[in-house]
Amino acid sequence: MGESILAQITLILFLGIGSQWLASRLRLPSILLLLVVGFVVGPFTDHRWVDPDPLIGDLLMPLVSLSVGLIMFEGGLTLKFRELDAIGSVVIRLISVGALMTWGLSLLLARFALGWDWPLCALVGAILVVTGPTVILPLLRFLQPTRQVASALKWEGIMIDPVGALLALLVFETIHHGLGEHGAQWTQFPTYAFMGFFWTLVIGGVAGCLGAGLIYYFFKHHWVHEHQQTPFALMVAVSAFTLSNHFQHESGLLATTLMGVILANQKQVDVRHVLEFKENLVVLMISTLFIVLSARLELATFSALPVLGTLGFLLGLLVIVRPLTVWVSCLGSSLNRSERLFLSWMAPRGIVAAAVASVFSMRLVDAGMAEAAQLTPVVFMVIVGTVLVYGLTAGPVARWLGVSNPDPQGVLIAGAHALGRNMGKVLQEAGFRVLLVDNNSQNIQQARMDGLPVYYGSILAEDLVDEVDLSGIGRLLALTPNHRVNALAALHFSELFGEREVYQLADTSSNTSKRDAFAQGLQGKTLFHESASYAELQERLQQEQRIKCTNLTDTYTFEDARQAMGDTLLPLFVIHAKGSLQIVQAGQSVQPTSGQTLISVSAS
């Protein structure tokens, strides 16, 4: 028996993490693969390889609920108030008026498409108010949409979940209490809902503020060793979630989300390492939760669903409910038509909808409401359908609307000195977006006179990413004279651009101990050549060498350019025929061909 349990747990972990890895390789939404795998090892096999109910028992739903709370905490840690400057009113309307519209329209749609009784329609409509930040955030990282679109989707995806979960709870309890002789008292629902939201805001808000304050105070006064800060934050988040839920059901989601938001926007203590751990933990939780929840479903409940009605319900959510909700919420906003259309085509459902539907369906069936057994399969069909449709079409739609650049070719240049300005000017003239960052006012002023976009401040400033628009930029060139700053900048921006897209100048210092300190992958890729340090490149410019573009043809090849420019030729970039920019790395053999453009520094 013990070996069987261990085998199932191992299989869940293996399949969960394996699905995440395979999805990243195939560039597919990970949740789609997780659901498919869960179905295969659960209801689609004669002898279930994974059977969650006997495996976990009564702990299943509390663990699911707690995991969702921690997922919301991690989501809150990514929200910055600066992102709301232009889209704050849109986000507020999406999680208030938009939530009510989604509930009402989904309720009516379920009634006519599925033919359910009104109470069950009201419940499924409330559950589907939530979207899926666990689906949206990976899509945003892949699509790289405009700043306003990305901020609106991220804030809505995270903040709508506590609202939707609470609304679903209020509807559920109204139904559950009315299963006796007198039926549901819907006339009292507005008062009941008002009091529910009020106490959730009070209790969840207090719990979230106390939790964030406790973490802030302990971290600021160094009462927790650095290696213990992450488990300490985890302990406080779990405690706030449980305490809040004890006094008001489902208020724990608001508490943990608010905790994350408060900690993300304070400036006194560094919580980035906590966020990094939470991101890894969330990947593990999502991987296991989706497999567990989908594996416990029964095929009989799916076969009982009306095929045309279910497809009609899904189609109505995609082309009626979401577009109407977005257009009403965006009235009077600064979002343009393309951005509004893209927001209208992005509302996948995720782990919160799956967890809430699983819990409420099971409790209603146990209470004697047999038709509630159809709730979970319908919600899972919506999750699969929305993830499949949005996941596969979001990229083409975003590119068609002009709101996305999934492969940004622009460069962020650390250093607005002569080298950075010359390099930036050539790249800008070649059609690539550049942004120069420097904390030297004279360098910034000269770069502005050269017509280059700049940011006055340190490349290591935490607020840089929030304050500037990096759309269209996907690489970092760290060109400062300070190798330590270059290495730290590369480490910082590897989180945003990926390790493959951060570059820095070579360090030719004679002090090997300093170089060793930044070895073993703790720096960006070395630019151009092992000897191409800041001093070397500056000396070249002082010797009247210049950075220039050379168009290669069948009659003027790379070898011809090499012979014409001699030993001074140092390739920097290669622009391919389709307009992509290749950054030359140290030790890389470069052989540009006809139709490509070589950017190099040379004496002629």
pLDDT tens digits for range 441-483:
888 888 888 888 888 888 887 667 766 777 778 888 888 888 8
Quote the pTM value: 0.73
pLDDT tens digits for range 165-181:
888 888 888 887 766 55
Exposure letters 58-69 (e unless 16+ CB within 10 A, then b): eebeeebbbbbb
**Full set of structural domains in the chain with CATH:** 2-401 (1.20.1530.20), 410-602 (3.40.50.720)
Q: Strand 546-551 to strand 410-414: parallel, antiparallel, or no bridges (unpaired)?
A: unpaired
Token pair belonging to 401: 């609307």
Q: What is the pLDDT of residue 304?
A: 79
pLDDT tens digits for range 291-350:
887 887 777 777 778 889 999 999 999 999 999 999 999 988 888 899 899 999 988 888
Kindly tell me if the per-residue pLDDT of 407 is higher than 70: no
The strand ranges marked E within 406-453 are 410-414, 434-438
Least confidently predicted of 230-239, 255-264, 271-280, 330-339: 271-280
254-259 average pLDDT score: 91
Kindly tell me if the per-residue pLDDT of 550 is higher than 80: yes
Which pairs with CB-CB distance under 8 Å and at least 24 residues apart come from 39-46? Answer: 39/294, 39/295, 39/297, 41/11, 41/15, 41/291, 41/295, 42/294, 42/295, 42/296, 42/297, 43/295, 43/297, 43/298, 43/299, 43/302, 44/299
